[in-house]
Amino acid sequence: MPELPEVETVVRDLRPLLVGRRFVALRVGRRKLRRPWKRDWAARLVGATVAGVRRRGKWIVLDLDAGPRLVVHLGMTGQFTVAKSDEAMKDHTHLVFELNGDAGELRFRDARRFGSVELFADEAAVRAFLADRLGPEPAEIDPVAFREALQRTGRTLKAVLLDQTVVAGVGNIYADEALFRAGLHPQRRGQTVTAAEADRLREAVAAVIADAIEHRGSTIRDYVGGSGLRGGYQDEFRVYGRTGKPCPACAAVIEVVRVAGRSSHYCPGCQKNSPQRARRAQR
């Protein structure tokens, strides 16, 4: 599933291709996406000009000149790309926005159909929709609030990082990589974490996300950026997807365990599941 770095890459790719462009036609596929498409949206979109392209968590927001907002979620296999008008249409393409001039077409493709594209009346409607779904961005986490969130929960650290209301945009890949960078086991309980460990995890989350954005995200299966290019951060993984391989820091064999319903990769040497041992390791 595309996480924050992948969605941010799509946004950065699309911004120069879309801003100032007008939707002159729209084609809607027959198969339904995760959230229903309303018939009257097409009439409201055709003729609208894209004024901005941005991201909040894993959501893409297209600001339109007349006030409405087009809000996109890539789901598990979604692709939101600009292609030339004469480029062959790929299977599972559900929406095609024809752009004015020679700008081509904005296409939304999703094989699994867990993604969505919705039209909101204005910015207030978008904020209301996302308000109870998303916490702060990784680079904007308040240190005190994060420490308190961990201290008052008995959930595992992996579960906390996957909770979008605690930190927006982090998914399975970057939770594993951040926990490794922080030297914390994915099964550690939040309430056992010290203030220093909480700070280390918060900083690790922000650093991993920033590094992944610099590498255009991670291409595991279907992900491509808005220009159709693949990501490169999969070549930088320290633990994710490396079960049975040596840890790059201590050479211990990377292991995997099921946590919060997800496969969680970790190094048994660098990430001890013991508060006491973890504290000693940092001295």
Q: Which residues pair with 27 in a beta bridge?
A: 96
Report how far residue 172's alpha carbon sits from residue 150's, in angstroms, rounded to the nearest whole number. Answer: 18
- HEC readout, the chain: CCCHHHHHHHHHHHHHHHCCCEEEEEEECCCCCCCCCCCCHHHHHCCCEEEEEEEECCEEEEEECCCCEEEEECCCCEEEEEECCCCCCCCCEEEEEEECCCCCEEEEEECCCCCEEEEECCHHHHHHHHHCCCCCCHHHCCHHHHHHHHHCCCCEHHHHHHCCCCCCCCCHHHHHHHHHHHCCCCCCEHHHCCHHHHHHHHHHHHHHHHHHHHCCCCCCCCCCCCCCCCCCHHHHCCCCCCCCCECCCCCCECEEEEECCEEEEECCCCCCCCHHHHHHHCC
* Domain C-terminal end among 82, 99, 131: 131
**CA nearest to 12, candidates 164, 216, 188:** 216
Q: What is the mean pLDDT of residues 12-24?
A: 97
Are residues 127 and 144 both part of a single domain? no
Give the residue numbers marked as catalytic: 2-3, 58, 262
35: confidence class by pLDDT, cuts 50, 70, 90: confident
Are residues 275 and 159 both part of a single domain? yes
Are residues 125 and 156 both part of a single domain? no
Q: What is the pLDDT of residue 280?
A: 33
87-127 tens-digit pLDDT: 999 999 999 999 999 999 999 999 999 999 999 999 999 99
Cα–Cα distance list, 99 to 7, 35, 49, 103, 118 (Å): 21, 24, 9, 6, 18
Could you tell me whether strands 116-120 and 23-28 are parallel, antiparallel, or unpaired per DSSP bridges? Answer: unpaired
Checking if the pLDDT of 128 tops 90, the result is: yes
CATH code assigned at 104: 3.20.190.10
Write down the pTM of the prediction. 0.92
Largest CA distance in the chain: 64
Do 206 and 193 form a contact (C-beta atoms < 8 A)?
no
**Which residue has better confidence, 173 or 222?**
173
Report how far residue 158's alpha carbon sits from residue 139's, in angstroms, rounded to the nearest whole number. Answer: 18
Are residues 146 and 271 both part of a single domain? yes
Q: Which residues pair with 266 in a beta bridge?
A: 255
Q: What is the pLDDT of residue 169?
A: 97
Are residues 150 and 49 both part of a single domain? no
Are residues 96 and 112 both part of a single domain? yes
**Which residue has better confidence, 232 or 197?**
197
The letter for the amino acid at 211 is D
Are residues 180 and 84 both part of a single domain? no
Range of the domain at 161: 138-281
Please give the distance of CA 231 from its chain centroid, rounded to a whole number: 13
Q: What is the mean pLDDT of residues 176-204?
A: 97
Are residues 110 and 215 both part of a single domain? no
* Domain C-terminal end among 87, 103, 131: 131
The letter for the amino acid at 86 is D
Are residues 144 and 255 both part of a single domain? yes
Q: What is the pLDDT of residue 279?
A: 40
Q: What is the pLDDT of residue 276?
A: 53
Do 2 and 173 form a contact (C-beta atoms < 8 A)?
no
* Domain C-terminal end among 81, 104, 131: 131
171-188 tens-digit pLDDT: 999 999 999 999 999 999
CATH code assigned at 222: 1.10.8.50
Q: Which residues pair with 116 in a beta bridge?
A: 73
Percent residues over pLDDT 90 in the chain = 86
Q: What is the mean pLDDT of the chain?
A: 93
224: confidence class by pLDDT, cuts 50, 70, 90: low
Are residues 222 and 253 both part of a single domain? yes
Checking if the pLDDT of 277 tops 80, the result is: no
Q: Report the number of distinct structural domains present in the chain.
A: 2
Checking if the pLDDT of 228 tops 80, the result is: no
**Which residue has better confidence, 224 or 151?**
151
Q: What is the pLDDT of residue 282?
A: 36
Q: What is the mean pLDDT of residues 20-40?
A: 92
Q: What is the pLDDT of residue 230?
A: 81
Checking if the pLDDT of 278 tops 50, the result is: no
Report how far residue 152's alpha carbon sits from residue 129's, in angstroms, rounded to the nearest whole number. Answer: 27
Q: Give the pair of three-digit tokens for residue 189.
A: 């309980």
Report how far residue 21's alpha carbon sits from residue 96's, in angstroms, rounded to the nearest whole number. Answer: 14
Do 267 and 248 form a contact (C-beta atoms < 8 A)?
no
Q: What is the pLDDT of residue 247?
A: 98
283: confidence class by pLDDT, cuts 50, 70, 90: very low
Checking if the pLDDT of 281 tops 50, the result is: no
Are residues 48 and 183 both part of a single domain? no
**Which residue has better confidence, 222 or 87?**
87
Are residues 114 and 196 both part of a single domain? no
